[in-house]
Structure 1
């Protein structure tokens, strides 16, 4: 029976909403979880707290003996089964001792999420069949159970079986891993005269997000009728028919993860005992940056990405290159006209860092601002009134209720609706433009409500941060209230800044259940007052923007009248604007002076400028209502000169830095008495007093011994504020030779229960494009978690990760990051050793193998500090000018992006400052050394804060330096650094410690300092060690593996020692040569 519906001309003032509310609680524990392709579970806290309560403690119990106290932990279950995972939260009412504790437990079924990949093949020789398997799993070792179809079986990985009779046999293998997962695969084997000759194969591409194109390249069988069954990560995508068939699968199944997945093809020939399978690993990335946008009322724009881009994906929205939101679907009103603005949307998967996509478009004017959204209120008499967001008179409105009641030409109709659930659709169209139309449908629930005398008011206010707030207040009743806003908020006060529209709140009194509703129509205010000006480079210091001077982009800080904000002047015009309510403000501009960017002083306004010696200047501005004041200009003069240039590989030896020739990082350039280092682009720059300087450059490691042209420059840098650039140095390298260097740096401590992170860079030092294999060897006991870019393989039992690296151009490098899981039971104090090595693919000759390997030493520690300093090796060192590798790690744990990061490092007096060499950095930085003070300046780094993007909130810099020679025994070498994030106080790192220990040294009694040549190296069967310049006495060689075990020890009467591989396993070894009880040389060698 249809409800009685009656159109009413008026409605009562007291109304209530039909939306049911939950009872008031102080805290409610809850969580969600997800699992990645490697079987690692990520748990996400989604607990609720009432207004004023803050969660002070999280206690997780994963049901497997492990616990955690972090908010969003990860856990890897080692066996399949059902686990009872519990979360206990403790929250406290701010300013009191009142606490609330709540617990929630959920059952987690851990199955075989780690799909066993691979397949098996076989060859038939008469009646003997040789089977070969290529299965893999994240949890080796694998076990095999073969059933050959004639009653025989085997447990070998690659068995051979002979059949007694001809016929067709179904052969099945069951593969199991240490996690308890298994996979069974069967194929028909034909013995005798019948032949099948069916071989499955395919190619695949991913032309766009969420799209996979497969093309069969199967041979044999019935060419036209072979049935192809496609599976991705064990899920059937579909079937195709015929060899050579191609198909596009789009969209992919909703639960398809990003990352490396198994794509498998099974081919069957109809009416014949022929089938074959083929699998391979492909990389899937469903990130999709595409979006649509709608222009709503008052030029507010709503951006909408595809529906499947929520949950695991992070979003960054840029307007003309400036980040304006990290919401999934932001709604924004820009301060300037949006027409012609370039909007870019970057989508990335935090769990698979290599998976990201971007899409950009230029916003166009949309004359159609149709928006059919609406709110509704129901009073105690059952009168429901509908409130559209768009209520201007130039729009027509149509309301459809339950598909049978139509109300036209009524902006805000009022209806009697008996208690029930209704489907209400609202259609809005622009008068005179029938194509400008919008429709929305939603459920309206009408319930009976108890009579009450509750009234609600909504007040709007603006806080000191210029946020617009709406606050709901209850009248005529006291008690505990809950709040349910139409935008989903459940607090008394909500932030609606720039999100214009109608906001309704339903308030419920907990004791009586009495409810009341009120609405507020939030629309833009009249434009605020304007203050503005120009910032410029006042090269001649006269306080005027002359025709020969250029604008500059700097940040303007404004505070006063309860406001505090900053704006950045335009980099092209120098113009800046601020929109403020009437009042009195301090308006200041500031240019940082540090390291290579020093020398700036303010020239305008002079009266606020500390007699022309300050890098900052301020105005005091009084602005009246409806007033626009401009002319608040800021001039800055650089009182020094800038000398700059590049260090690059001169591949074609023409003495000019061509566009295809790459710069070299970490090279020291001497400008007079100043030392400056090239950044990641090979660029150097130094700001120094005006004068005449000689610029010298001598290549340092890894280019020590190479020639650079020209040898030097003489520069008369006499005009202050003037840049003197183009002072480039080209390194001459031989073509057709390879020289690859590896740099390994730890980006974290090794702490139980946390991830250990490492970065590796492979540099091509010579003039020949190089490819090869990168292998990262990590400490046994750690387990692989992820890599970026994706690894070619990993083996937890062998503790290795590999990448096939191709086409490293001369003078460039490629970066790799690997994350490892540290078991919670890893013993504190355990030494951790890791190394990375690169082997070229043999298409050129390596000139120097000593730099193909880099190592790092760490110790398992109990705590993790994101801003710290690490030294390798740790602890005691020998007094022999020991080389020390330092890494300074930093993280932005604030609440906004860091614009600039500066690290100041004062080198210890027991270090040889002249041996300082830059190694690596996470971001481009400028480095300057003045005596023992080294500054690392990350300008405009825009480092995200950890709350918005934890993965990208980290950075690091690393360098190496030698200890002084002839230090006394027990000498302590300490080192620490100060890290500055913008204008915040310095964060001081821990202090590293190395102690000179004579017991680690072996006296070198051979004064001739012989030269040692190892060739070939790497070697397969043998290598020759030639010692020239040694004494005429026996030479002892001792070879150790990386665990310190002696694997070879022999004495030679000759200066030519031949070392056979014999039982040496493939890998890296360290050799030591002794003569007359003294060490005459050490080095590394690689057995293949």
Structure 2
């Protein structure tokens, strides 16, 4: 990519040396504005002026933190910076010259983006049980770099105040008790000074002298005027024993985003909010309602966010041991639905001009099996169609050999010392009639990983498999065995791994999304009546984060010990740690030629690892149009790709693994 940019720069210099009378067209002028959304999000607006030179334009954004983005329009882009600091953001405009099919930089501009440290202060009140004039005040600090308070000062509104010093190693609550001399309304202020000097203050009225009681709750309501399944509408349900109204309702949505809404004391309701999630999943949503007079209450519960329904269908052949008739065959449907919906109807076609459909209720928990008697031995095309509650349908067909002289089967046997153990051993019991050697055995472990092993005449098949699961849960393990001659046997079973203490547990996953930038996800196992109240991450470089899903960028390459601590409402704590490796450079070397290309694209990739990489070609609209996998070795790796069927236009070519990332642009003619 660097060679291409140098070539383009040379072309740009050559064009700039043309005589003045040869330049009659107006030039491109690069410019942009930006708005910072605390703490670290920045929205960039492209305000460039495009000149009259012919050809399409590419807009290359470089954000100054090692990440970049290329688009083909003037739309705004949003970038999430890793933390406070000064960043140089640049916009480069490329023009595609239609006559010679290459690109040239026509304009560029750079600006400094300053992300400042943000700190806040707040507090909540707790009434004393011994006297109505006593109040407990609990400070609620918030710092964008997770720095701790070193001083908390209180002004109680009755001409009395106090300041309390704290060490940076203090882990308790920042609370204080104050006894008022008479009932009334008081304006209470808290000022928090953080390690590093950032200060914040919050004041609000409280009432002393009467024992207010309040509660908070919320419900999910139907969203209005949207068909986005990731948008959720929530309605707060306030209650106060003296019918005082909410003055503030704060929401935390469980995805590291939150909002607070102020209300006047004449507002009649309802207290609703809309939120759009980035991904489907289960989120711990909390509402905190602050009432007139200072009474506060919080309620948290899980909210499930679904993607649009997606489903699959499959089936396996199962033996009927009670009847010794090779023409009587059992089939077991294998449903799958991304939102966990059950089959409402399963239809079978057996390949002998006979079929059947079976309806199932939503409370059905048995097997989806059927038996069929064939008229004679032979090969039959068997199909299953599964219709799920909600309307999603899926269809699957495969050939099945019937008769005493043909057929194959595979069964899974699980070997484990404890139902709490994350380590499981599996044995594949395979048979075929007549006997045929095994060509391959593929395992799917139900946790997103799989493994395939082959066999030859000199290498017998490996029938055992060892696997370590990430955490407690239920996993759907499947095996697929291919025999010489074409017979295919499949089977599945559920593996249950219990939590060691039957109280709580969890696991974590990580994925590389940019150079030295990782997305971490935490998953919790807990009792239904003991929700998770905290996901706390330490990234091994002295920084930390909170939430079930976080993104972190390392400043330098190396190995880091990442730890996740999950805490439930009852205090049950789980700690999981993994070691990850961040590469030292921003990008591994990648050269693609020719560029522009018509038929065969050659890629030269310099690898720092011996591993498997994923190669993707992405078009200008962000759609992945080609995906490949290749084994790479340390040093130079050369590949050729046939791109003749791609439509003309710009494409991004990327090579990625858990340890490496490289990308380059090319133009398809």
Q: What TM-score do you get using the length of structure 2 for normalisation? A: 0.49
Larger RCO, structures 1/2 (Cα 8 Å, 6+ apart): 2
Larger radius of gyration: 1
Q: Greater share of strand residues, 1 or 2?
A: 2
